[in-house]
Structure formats: structure tokens, C-alpha cells
Structure 1
Amino acid sequence: MRFGNTSEAKIRKNLRASAADGAAFGGMVGIGETYLAAFALAVGMTELTAGMVASLPMLAGGVMQLLSLRAVRWIGSEQRWILFGASIQACAFLPLVYAALQGEISSARLLLVASIYWGAGLATGPAWNVWIENLVPSRVRTRYFAVRSRLAQLTTLGGFLIGGALLAWGQSIGQVLWAFSIMFLSASLLRFWSVYWLSRHQPIERPDHPPASSMGATSSEPIPLVRVHGGLLLVFLAVLQGMVQVSGPFFTPFMLKELQFSYPQFVGLISLSFVAKSISLAYWASFAKRFGVKSLLWIGAVGLVPLSACWIVSQSYAWLMFAQVLSGVLWAAYELGFFLMFFEAIPKHRRIMMLTVYNFANTLAIFAGAAIGGWLLTMTGTTRESYYLLFGVSSVGRLLALGILASATLRPVPVIQLGIRVLSLRVGAGSLDAPVLASLDEGQDEADGLVSAESAA
């Protein structure tokens, strides 16, 4: 892999540093944020609060992203802004370590800490997409993102499994909160390790690539949503995501409190969905090349409709294992289809701004859906029948959202390499993801046509 002249050494160092950053971030995601709802339950909070902790704070990240493009100009560079946000995110775990050792934390403080975590993390997304596009040469992105993603996926899953093992150990000796303190301290250290590798990146000046600041990251030019058929797709995303979140945040309290699952059982179900989602991406990419992205999107969207209702049919562990595998496979189809259909149709110089709008709409929908679910749970009480109501309403809402998709004009788009940033693990979806816009670059190798899951910076 030759890059030419004096920049070759810098490029190689940057690629290694970015891979290390992705691996450290993946470990943090696995052992840290994913367990916030479980931690809320462990310190004696209600099932409703546990669901809110896993969903409402994400809106802070969506709002911060709207301000991030201006913040980059104020702070002077994408790298400085990313280092600042990543450092704040690492520090957000330290109050959780203290709370776990003390054995108590108020609901308001836990929500504040979670909001700081998501606000700092998501705010770096647009800047990171601009930055990584300038650092990674287009002709090596296909192979590079594939290797980096495999490493990040392994560390995400590894961190999650280690966290589950620590909780099982803590439960066996009656010290679950001590286990949480170790987990959150580990998450903080991993994010600080990620910050170190982010600081090791060196700027590259290449004649084949313009400066990051000129790539439209701060463009205020209006985005023609109608012309790129993105308007209805964005509305569909928001409505569907909102309906998903009516039930999504409450799967964890349902499993740990209502069904009395052990921590290993809880970890096993989420791991199954994540692994199934990761493995099936390559298959769905091949399917889309043969039958088209439109067909892929429709299969995923229709397939999501009954998933929450599957939890009403039976609560046997074997059945839920099957439901989680099916969930991971169908979410992979939906996300790949949506990302390709939505972002590929947007002109390259407007994608950063559109990613910001997309993420804000997504987090706003998560907030709204979780608020509706929380209200329903409050009105009906936290009984098993109350959870059944949430699962049923979620499935009906997903079905109704298909009417919006049917109204959208879906033009053919190419099936190309798509990097996906894993932001969090989720019970009903395998993971919460965002696209890596650099992987949509027309100049990269198209021979692979594969899809990789890319860990976030």
C-alpha cells in the first residue's frame, strides 16, 4: 500500500492511530454506556427511570451537533474539538464510579451525567467525519475501514462480555455496585486511551484532497430535501424511530425486573442481536447489489414491524434468543438500505450538514418515543400487561409508519462500501449506529462492494 513521497510515514501512523482509537472507543461502548439502565436499577431507581436514562439524554447530543460546526470554527480545528469532546466524554464516567462506590445517586444527577456523555460524544460526529476524510486516502478506505471495523466490533463485544462477567461476579459475592465501579472506571480509562491516540494524528497536506475546512462542514447553503427525495425519508426515519422507542428503552427493565433475568442472560440476548447484525451486513450488501437498495429497505422496514410484539408471544429464553437474532438481521437490512438510499443521494459537499440534521431528527424521535412510552407506563403501572401494551403500540406504530415510506420516491442508488459507526448496544436493535460519510466517497475502490461496521471516534 503506497502513498508516495514524505507523507507516507504520516499516513501510516495516522491509520494505526485511528485503528487504536476505534478499538479503545469500542471497548468503552461495550463496558460503559450500555449498562447505564442496568446501573439505574441496581441503585434502586424505578423501571421508568431506567428506561429514561437509556434514551432521553441522547437529545443533548442531537442539540450539541447543531452547535458543533460553529464550535469547530471557534476552537480552530476539527482535531481540537474532537479531543475536547472525547475528554469530556471520558470524564463523564468518573461521577458514576463515585456513585457506584457510594451506592447511591439521584435520578436527576444520573440523567445529567448521561446527557453530558451523549452531548460530548455526538457533538464530535460531524467534525470527525470531516477530519477522517482528510486523513484517510480514498483509494485505501475500503480495506482500511473493513479492518478497523472488525477490530472495533471485537472490542465492543469484548467490553460488553467482560462487563457482564464482572456483574455476574459481583452478584455472586453480593457486591454488584463494586462491579459497576470497575466497569465505569474501565470505560473512562478506555476513552482517555482513545483521546491519546486521537492526539497522535498528524495533519496531512495532499494535492488530491482539499483542506477539511473547505469540504462543506460549515456550509449554510440550504439542502434541497425534495430533490434528493430525502424529505419523506427523513420524516419516515423520525416516525419509525419514535415508534421503536416507545418500547425500546424499556426492554432492559422488563428483562431485569419483570422477568428476573440474570446478568448473563441479559448480556446473552444483546450479544446475539449485535453479532447477528454484524454478520448479516455482508449478506444484505450482496442482496442489494442483486435486487436493489429499494427492495432491501422495504424488507428491513416491514421486518421491523412485528419485532417488539415478539416479546408478547412468549418470554421463554429460547424464543427471545430467536427474536433477538431475527432483530439483528432485520435491523441490518433496514439501516443499510436507509443509509445508502438517504446519504448517497445527497451531494457530497452537503453530506456533513445533512448528517447533522439526520442525527438531530433521530435523537429527537428517540426522545419523543421514549417520552410516550414512559407516559404509557406511568398511566398503566409497571406490570407485565403494561409492558405488553408498550410492545403492541410500538408494533402498530411501526406498521403505520410504512405509509410514509410508500409515499416516498425511491430512486436507484449504487451499492458501495458503507462504514457504520457503532455508538451503543441496544436490546431490540443490536446497536445504535451512524454512517461514516467518508466511505461514500466516489473515488474509493468499488470492487469489494462490501459493508463494514465502523466504530465511532
Structure 2
Amino acid sequence: MKPSPKPAPAPGTSEAEGGTLRRGPLSDEVVKRGMRLSVLEGIAFAMMVGLSEAFFLADAIRLSASRLEQALVVTVPLFVGSLGPLLGVVLLARMRARKPLVACTALAQALGLAGLSFATYAGFSSPILLIVAATLHGFFGQSGGSAWSSWFGDLVPEDVRGRYFAGRNRWIYGATFAAILTSGLVLNSLEARTVIASDGAGSPGFALIYGLAALFRFGSAALHFATPEPRFGGLTPIKRAAQFTRTASGRGLVRLILANAIFYFAVYVASPYFAPFMLGELHFTYLEYTAATTIVIAVKVLVLSRWGSVVDQMGPRPVFFVAALIVGIIPLPYLWTEGLGWVLVGQALSGLSWAAYELSLFSLLLNRTYRGIRPHVFALQSLLNGAAQLGGSLAGAALLATIPGADLRLIFAFSMGLRVLVALALPVLVPEQRNELMLGRRAVLMRVIGFRPSGGLLMSGSLRVRKRRAEPQDHE
């Protein structure tokens, strides 16, 4: 008689001598299941983004938010959210698993959206409440980012990573597009045809899209809990990361991060005011606003691979300079537009140029760092970007307050001038670096893990995080 078969080891374990179980590599089948679950999670996440974040500013206008409050709805979540990666790095240094952090932050976002949906339907919402809700949403959203990047960098095999994330991204882009379009249709059906400031009365349209966003984020959290996690090797100690900044390569990296923050300051002098300009001054319908939002996504998807080819041919540094100059002139069509046509031109130019800027910047950051310190580098970049975005928006609001009756076009022109000046100075601010590692298009594009309409590409900077004995050999 054959002995009874022994039960299979649990996911994430392997069988040692004597029949005991120890932590070990995941089986191929478990890895494939985790990758399939991650595609579904990415779709749920993208639906949440398109049903909520893309319309926070439109809701602020509905709630009679002032110009300053409109800016704060955009930038305070970015600034406070930029503290999230710092918290994530601190927690990761003390944790033995990444899944709890990622899943719990997703759950916190879902609960926040559910509360916002109820407050919006019941008429309790206000600009201040919306700012607080958006800020907590952004903070929890970014707190789990480093852990997610580390987790799925370890889970997805290196030889299929490019194909896998490319396929996952197609689903994410499609889901984001569908969610924004759905939101526009819902608001166009249940709300006034154009955005009309209210006294805080209940809004069935915004309550519905926030409620749907919460459901998708609950589903996303559940999928995180169900996805297997490989063994976690820990992060590079922050002391070693600080030592890197004192090397020649580290000093060049710091200059790049600071130059990018200065450019973001110039951009965000005007960036929070484009949506209020469309909805408040051009009186766009929700469908027109939706069209203007989705064209950015469509153009980015179309040109991202092409820009990757250019980065391969020329290197990321010259592409970074050219892209910054094109970003600088994005406000130009808004100086004379009176309707949807020129806005679509400006939005398409935004998608074209930001795809190049974000991709080339990320390539430079990858080329000038090694794997173990990247979570720390991206946490620092996030913090400085958040501070620059908040500072730029406050400068724009101060300029509007200083000039009574100032047209938003004045802010657009001022921001355009600042952007172009900074873009022209970038070759001096970001000098060429010796022995810079050149990563090809596939190596960079496989790190693009998602997209936010107002926040650009989401990148994974720590796809494989493990302990290292020597720093100079850590380049990929």
C-alpha cells in the first residue's frame, strides 16, 4: 500500500528535513497566482483613482472653495503625502513583512473614501473637510508605495518583469480611462450640467463616485491580503545611504533632485488652477472636463514607448532638458483659449511633454543610484517635490491675492516664464556625470507601475531590495 501523500507546504514555505516547514522561495504556481492577483488589484486601484482623485478639485469648486482652498486641495495632499514614503521606509526597516503595510494603507484609503461619500451625500462636506480627506487619502496612498515596490520586485521574476508590467500597465491605463469617463457621465447625469457652486447641499453624483471608489479600494485591499509575499531581506541602513550622498556620484544625485524640486515649484505656481479655469471661467460641462482629463492619459500611453526609444538613442540627460523646455510652454494655449479646442491642444502637449520628463528623470535617478539606497532616494525626492508643490501653489495664490481681479491667465504666463528660465538653467544645474550607468528602455519602462491623472507616472524605484556588502558593485 502506498503511503498517504503529505499535504503540500503552505505558500511561501518549503519543506525541510524532518517534515518541518521553514520560510523559503515561493513555488512557480504561487508566483503566477500572485501575479494574476496583482493585475486585478491594479485594475481596482486604477478604478479608484479615476472615480475619486481625478475629481477632487471639481468637487472643491462645487463647494464654493476659494482660490487658496482650490490650490490646497491639490497641493496639501501632495506635500503631506510626500511624508508617506519616509514613514514607509522607517516602518520597512523594522518590519519582517511588507504585505501588512501595503494592505492596511489601502484599507485606510477605502475607509476614508467611504466616509467622504457619506458626508457628501448627507450635505456635511465642505472645502476644509475635502482638503482633510484628500490629504489623508494621499498620505495613506504613498505610505505603502516603497513596500509595494519591494514586494513585487521580489515576487515577479526578473526575466519576465518587463513583459509583465507592460501588460499590467495596459490594464491600468484602460481602467483609469474607463473610470474617469464613467465619473464624467455620472456627474453629467446627476449634477447640474456645469459646475455650480453650492452651499454644501448633498451631492448624489459625487457621493456615488466616491462610494464606488471606496468599493474598488476595498477590493484592492482584499486582493493585497490574498497575494503571496516572498521572504523580505530588509533595507539598506539609512546611514549607508547618507554616506553615499557624500560621494561625487551622491552629490550629483542631490543636485538633480534639487533641480527637479525647483522646476516643480515653477510648475505648481499655476498647476492647481488649470481645472478651476476650465470649470469656473470657461464653464466646461463635466463631459468637456472629462475629455480634457482623459486626453492627457491617452497621449501619454501613445508616446511613452516612443520616448523610451529616444532615451535609448540619446541618453536620458538631453531628453530631460528638452522635455523640461516643452513642459515650460504648456500654459501657452491657455493664454488665449476661449473653449475646448485649444484646451485639448494644451492637454495633449501636457501628456506629450510630461511623459518625456518623467521617464527621463526616472532614468537619470536609476542611472545614478544603486538598488539598496533607492527607497531612501525616492523618499527624499518625494519630500522635496511635495514641499515645492505646496510652496509653488501658495506663491500662485499670493500673487492672485496681491493683484485684485487678476485673471488666471496672468498666473499661467508667470508660471510659464519661471518654467522656461529653470529649464534653460538645467544643463548647468545638472552636469554630466562620469561613469554614469546607462539603462535601456526596457529596464526603465518595466519600472513604470501605474499612472495618476494629476500625479503622473508611478514608478518603482526599489524593484529588488536586498542586503549588500559593497556599494560600488550595486549598480544594475
The two structures share one fold, judged by TM-score above 0.5: yes
**Cross-structure match for 1:112:** 132
% identity of equivalent residues: 23
1:171 deviates by 2.7
**Cross-structure match for 2:214:** 188
**Cross-structure match for 1:409:** 431
With over 3 angstroms needed to count, the CA separation of the structure-2 counterparts of 1:167 and 1:303, relative to structure 1, is same
Equivalences for residues 282-431 of structure 1 within 5 A: 282-381=305-404, 383=405, 385-407=406-428, 408-411=430-433, 413-417=438-442, 418=445, 419-422=447-450, 424-426=452-454, 431=455
Would the aligned equivalents of 1:56 and 1:370 in 2 still touch at CA under 8 Å? Answer: no
SS in 2 for 1:45: coil
What amino acid maps onto 1:312 in structure 2? L
Establish whether residue 12 from structure 1 lines up as the match of residue 10 from structure 2.
no
1:271 deviates by 0.8
With over 3 angstroms needed to count, the CA separation of the structure-2 counterparts of 1:219 and 1:84, relative to structure 1, is farther
1:102 deviates by 2.1
1:300 deviates by 0.4
Counterpart selection for 1:54 from 69, 74, 77: 74
What amino acid maps onto 2:77 in structure 1? P
1:438 deviates by 5.1
Unaligned runs of 5+ in 2: 1-24, 195-200, 466-476
Would the aligned equivalents of 1:236 and 1:404 in 2 still touch at CA under 8 Å? Answer: no
1:329 deviates by 0.6
Establish whether residue 224 from structure 1 lines up as the match of residue 245 from structure 2.
yes
What amino acid maps onto 2:224 in structure 1? L
Establish whether residue 29 from structure 1 lines up as the match of residue 58 from structure 2.
no
Would the aligned equivalents of 1:90 and 1:192 in 2 still touch at CA under 8 Å? Answer: yes
Would the aligned equivalents of 2:321 and 2:427 in 1 still touch at CA under 8 Å? Answer: no
Counterpart selection for 1:72 from 69, 92, 106: 92
Establish whether residue 156 from structure 1 lines up as the match of residue 176 from structure 2.
yes
**Cross-structure match for 2:11:** none
Partners of 2:369 and 2:127 lie apart in 1 by 41
1:6 deviates by 6.9
Partners of 2:80 and 2:95 lie apart in 1 by 20
1:273 deviates by 1.4
1:404 deviates by 4.1
**Cross-structure match for 2:459:** 435
- With 21-30 and 95-104 compared, the bigger mean Cα shift is at 95-104
1:73 deviates by 4.4
SS in 2 for 1:212: coil
**Matched positions, count:** 425
1:19 deviates by 0.8
Output one character per residue of 1:188-246: Cα deviation in whole Å (capped at 9) or x when no partner: 11111001111111133xxxxxx533343766531327415212211111011111111
Output one character per residue of 1:103-129: Cα deviation in whole Å (capped at 9) or x when no partner: 342333222111110110111111111
SS in 2 for 1:213: coil
What amino acid maps onto 2:426 in structure 1? L
TM-score for both structures, normalised by structure 2: 0.84
RMSD: 2.3
- With 273-282 and 396-405 compared, the bigger mean Cα shift is at 396-405
Counterpart selection for 2:265 from 232, 235, 242: 242
1:76 deviates by 4.3
What amino acid maps onto 2:332 in structure 1? A
SS in 1 for 2:432: coil
Would the aligned equivalents of 1:86 and 1:121 in 2 still touch at CA under 8 Å? Answer: yes
With over 3 angstroms needed to count, the CA separation of the structure-2 counterparts of 1:60 and 1:161, relative to structure 1, is same
- With 251-260 and 431-440 compared, the bigger mean Cα shift is at 431-440
What amino acid maps onto 1:199 in structure 2? F
Partners of 2:354 and 2:464 lie apart in 1 by 20
Would the aligned equivalents of 1:219 and 1:350 in 2 still touch at CA under 8 Å? Answer: no
Partners of 2:93 and 2:314 lie apart in 1 by 43
Partners of 2:175 and 2:117 lie apart in 1 by 21
TM-score for both structures, normalised by structure 1: 0.87
Partners of 1:224 and 1:303 lie apart in 2 by 30
SS in 1 for 2:331: coil
What amino acid maps onto 1:227 in structure 2? S
SS in 1 for 2:458: strand
SS in 1 for 2:75: coil
Output one character per residue of 1:361-398: Cα deviation in whole Å (capped at 9) or x when no partner: 111111111111122222234x5x43112101111111
Larger Rg: 2
Output one character per residue of 1:315-371: Cα deviation in whole Å (capped at 9) or x when no partner: 332122112112211111111111101222201111111111111111111111111
- With 140-149 and 164-173 compared, the bigger mean Cα shift is at 164-173
Partners of 1:59 and 1:17 lie apart in 2 by 31
**Cross-structure match for 2:102:** 82
